[in-house]
Structure 1
């Protein structure tokens, strides 16, 4: 009988052999980019992820999870325990201020906050079984992004990048379209953790320029390619002298990717090239400024996915005065936040579907937690 210790020792030796064979294969093939597309154990149905991150915690009972019993007990004291060390001024139960309507052939109940998303009901899968690990925003954000309440672990986007690689050699495999407000917990929500640095989220601004220093200094693309090839040879010599140090390899790969992005990013982020009908679908002509801002993010996300980016995460715009974190003034805050994202998200779903991209693109709409009823 094999003991637990023997099993782990044999497993570790096996993993080491696999790793060694991978290194030898890379040396024989000329050390290809580690972000090249990888062949997983099972063919994934989804090839891309667009994570619509609702920072602050959109209320589940006011959006996609109606609670009829909550309406019956409105105004009563809660019958469940609430941790007084976190919230020491607890109120009574509050029913949803919004009505729910059934949408689509599925009859999916969605609140009045999201009429545009409601028109996409039959393309949605609502999960009502999720729970939160922590009532604190930073720890809950870490749990949402990495599965751990403490920082330092690889984020979802980093794992997708590590597991699948990228379909584009001129763009990162993991992009965060930054709406302007850093979430609680900071940029570690988009970090690579113990994975190499080329798997961390690359921050694109929802503004102009999207990235700094993306305009090449060379007069022609051919001159830039020659310069990049020369730098690659120089970096390779340094890397060899340092015995292929992992940190050096990652730095070289990131710098080379940055150079290639100079040619790709200005074009892929230029949403003015989209048709007027497409821009209207997303809400780029909406009267509300924050709708237009989030519409630009959603449209940019679709363009990035089309170019082969594996994981795109969108953060919300701070122009509403708050995230989805309404400890008070729930109605005004949630109405403004919903107005900013409702039409753009519905437009993104419909646009992806019309282009055949929804078949292999997973859209995730989630905050770090909801609200206590």
Structure 2
């Protein structure tokens, strides 16, 4: 990867709410990731925005769109911008694929708000795969739906679009974009590339390494889809309030299990991409919306209401690892795509509250660093409601060039 070349794809492994405030402790639970750290950069100085309240859905929206909610227009997801700007690598494979998140859980509507292409159009929105173990079902007609019946429905839909009054139910652009997204899905259904979604075709030895749960299998599917030409893939451990990484109690015990779910798959993904020669042209990002206070549940200036009760003296195991939302210093891992190998970037204080003290990075810089790796201009924008809407607010974000080789 040299200056002037652009990466082909981005694979974003999004694990909400990890605890790594001052680097990641590889000595317990993340040994496999530790063994591939010579292939990437550890950012220790990500600073999330102060938006009044440190809440998951608000910060996830900000992380994925680079815009603070609410917005007067529907802000596109990072993956949608990339899909729009660069187009598909393989016309059959959706350019933006999201793996692992359901919207039937708590805060489902808030999650939907940023899983969108917004004004860019439906064809650039995420192709959703809630469960990678059932990934092939995502590209098949529902049960009881024959191919003939499916084709007739598609024809009826085209006719409805043609007959609907202009401007009454969306602009012509949005209607055409929705139609193209339906056509793309239909092409995928009938293509041999759909086999990439079928994890049963993966050799058992490889499957077993990735099979640590939905996130691990999501990483496996992402690798297979990258091989078929997917442009942007997001894999999430899935956000559900007070579940998974959202550890407001039993944190010590739960984190041990959560680290097992991500350690092997992330490391294997990096090794597989390197083995096939794809790592240099695939940017892999492991990140979260914010971090955790490393010592205790609650801070006087945290601006978040009490969510659980912590005793003055901890005697019960469930009270170990009770950590409140923290925005002043977090970690991000980046591999491939021209990112410098074996680098540690930024620094947090050695003492609590462990705030960032060197080379702080905010979300505008992270997004523009990704766009730079892909060859997308800093001032990329579209005119919406007679005003320019940029990839980062007002087009002012700057890539952090020290992250690159």
TM-score range, shorter chain: 0.5 to 0.7
In structure 2, the partner of 1:280 is 208
Report deviation, 1:316: 1.0
Q: Is 1:140 matched with 2:59? A: yes
Q: When the two structures are superposed, what TM-score results if normalisation uses the length of structure 2?
A: 0.60
Q: TM-score, normalised by structure 1?
A: 0.65
Counterpart of 2:124 (choices 181, 196, 199) is: 199
Report the alpha carbon displacement of residue 309 of structure 1 after superposing the two structures with TM. 1.1
Aligned length, in residue pairs: 274
1:60 and 2:23 equivalent? no
Tell me how far apart the structure 1 counterparts of residues 175 and 280 of structure 2 sit (CA, whole Å). Answer: 38
Q: Shift in Å at residue 371 of structure 1?
A: 0.9
CA distance in 1, matches of 2:272, 2:289: 27
1:167 aligns with 2:94: no
Residue-by-residue CA offset, 1:60-90 (whole Å, 9 max, x unaligned): 23xx616xxxxxxxxxxxxxxxxxxxxxxxx
Q: Distance in 1 between matches of 2:231 and 2:256?
A: 31
Higher helix share: 1
Which whole-Å deviations, capped at 9, do the CAs of 1:124-162 have from their partners, x for residues lacking one?
211122101141111111111011220531111111111
Long gaps (5+) in structure 1: 1-41, 67-99, 101-109, 285-290
List per-residue Cα deviations over 1:222-251 (Å, max 9, x = no partner): xx9xx79x959x769939996991022112
- Written as runs of structure 1 = structure 2, the 5 A alignment for 1:1-373 is 43-55=4-16, 57-61=17-21, 65=23, 100=25, 110-134=26-50, 135-151=54-70, 152-180=74-102, 184=107, 185-206=110-131, 207-208=133-134, 210-211=137-138, 213-214=140-141, 217-218=146-147, 238=162, 245-264=172-191, 266-282=194-210, 284=211, 291-316=212-237, 322-373=243-294
Relative distance call for 1:318 and 1:371 in structure 2 (3 A) is closer
In 2, the alpha carbon distance for the partners of 1:45 and 1:263 equals 31
Q: Distance in 2 between matches of 1:205 and 1:328?
A: 26
Alpha-carbon distance change, 254 to 371 in structure 1, aligned in 2, over 3 angstroms: same
**C-alpha contact (below 8 Å) 1:175/1:203 kept by paired residues:** yes
- Which moved further from structure 2: 205-214 or 350-359? 205-214
Structure with bigger strand share is: 2
**More displaced 10-residue stretch of structure 1: 137-146 or 293-302:** 293-302
Q: Are residues 250 and 304 of structure 1, via their aligned partners in 2, closer, same or farther at CA, if it must alter by over 3 Å?
A: same
Question: 1:111–1:157: structure 2 CA closer, same or farther, 3 Å change rule?
Answer: farther
SS at match of 1:52: strand
Structure with more contact order per residue of length (Cα contacts < 8 Å, sep ≥ 6): 2
Distance 1:131 1:60, change over 3 A: same
Distance (whole Å) between structure 1 residues aligned to residue 56 and residue 271 of structure 2: 32
Q: Greater CA radius of gyration, 1 or 2?
A: 1
8 A Cα contact 1:176 1:202, kept in partner? yes
Provide structure 2 residue ranges, at least 5 long, that are not aligned to the other structure.
Answer: 295-405
Q: 1:317 to 1:369 in 2, by over 3 A?
A: closer
Distance 2:40 2:162 in 1: 51
Q: Deviations over 1:30-60 (max 9, x none)?
A: xxxxxxxxxxxx95432111111112x1112
Structural RMSD (CA): 3.4
